[in-house]
Structure 1
Amino acid sequence: MSSSSGSGNHSYDIGTKSGLTQTYNTPVFKAERVERAMGSSSAGQYPVSHSGVRVTDAQGQQWLIHKGGGYGISSQTVVVDAKHMSDKWKVTETKDFQGSKNISDFVNTGGPKYNVILNNCHSASHRMMNQK
């Protein structure tokens, strides 16, 4: 399930509970830490940027997993079909997970709670990329 903005309007790409379960159980083969400038800023680095992790499954389907205040309902770490990503996102790191982790592992590592100082999108995306 997903929301690509913190506006409180949730746009769901996965229409059923079984579809959600299937997506969360999908093995991740490639993960890319991605970052984009926030708002009209073109700085692209802390503190005016947003980051997440784009994951790719065995069939090439891509999902953006990212965190933000007000992004989700039960968790502030959400999964969005990567087709919603603009061309403003830039890859900053790539890792091959060889199917050893599922999308749910990335969501759980991102964590349900958001704190702009101690548990924000940047700390979550770094934790996701550093999973063993």
Structure 2
Amino acid sequence: MSFKTALGLLLLAVLAIVSESSSGKSTFINFSDLKKLYNSKVYMAERFARPLDGMPFQIGILSHSGVSDSTDGSKWLIHKGDDYGKSSQTVVVDGHHMSNNWKLKEQKDFGGSKTVSDFVKAGGAEYKLLFDNCHNAANWMMND
């Protein structure tokens, strides 16, 4: 394994592949599955938006955005937020944890030309409310 791949795996591992289930218990992914996820090809990506936590509606930027990727039959939500992760604010969680509040905004067929790691990198490590937020990250993921 190259240094670049190992560094990417470490970054993804620290990202919050830990997701919260509805019971409040954490779900962890093992290293072998993490490596497989990191290198998984993305076929279909969908940009979603949902209301901000505590709000019953969404209007433009008063919402939260993320991208759901399909990789070999699995769905993963890649999204960004302030204090979402440790070494990166762009995190990956199991798509099964998406509520029905997420509304589809855009679909794009990548035909396996990109990997989950490409989407995480496109989302960026830092979060800044004005110019490096969840909406920017979702757009970068869909357009890179």
Tell me the TM-score normalised to structure 2 length.
0.80
CA distance in 1, matches of 2:135, 2:46: 13
Structure 2 residue runs of 5 or longer lacking an equivalent are 1-16
> Is 1:64 aligned to 2:65, yes or no?
no
Q: Deviations over 1:82-127 (max 9, x none)?
A: 0110000000000000000000000000010000111000000000
Q: Deviations over 1:47-78 (max 9, x none)?
A: 320000000013x2100000001001111000
Structure 1 residue runs of 5 or longer lacking an equivalent are none
- Which is helix-richer, 1 or 2? 2
Partner of 1:105: 118
Identical positions, percent: 48
Structure with higher Rg: it is 2
Q: CA RMSD in A?
A: 1.8
CA distance in 1, matches of 2:95, 2:123: 17
Q: Which of 40, 43, 53 lines up with 2:54 in the alignment?
A: 40
42-51 or 65-74, which moves further after superposition? 42-51
CA distance in 2, matches of 1:36, 1:80: 16
Tell me the TM-score normalised to structure 1 length.
0.87
Deviation at 1:10, TM superposition (A): 9.5
Aligned residues: 125
Letter of the 1:28 counterpart: V
Report runs of 4+ in structure 1 exceeding 4 Å deviation. Answer: none
CA distance in 1, matches of 2:93, 2:57: 24
- 1:81–1:13 distance in 2 versus 1, CA, 3 Å: farther
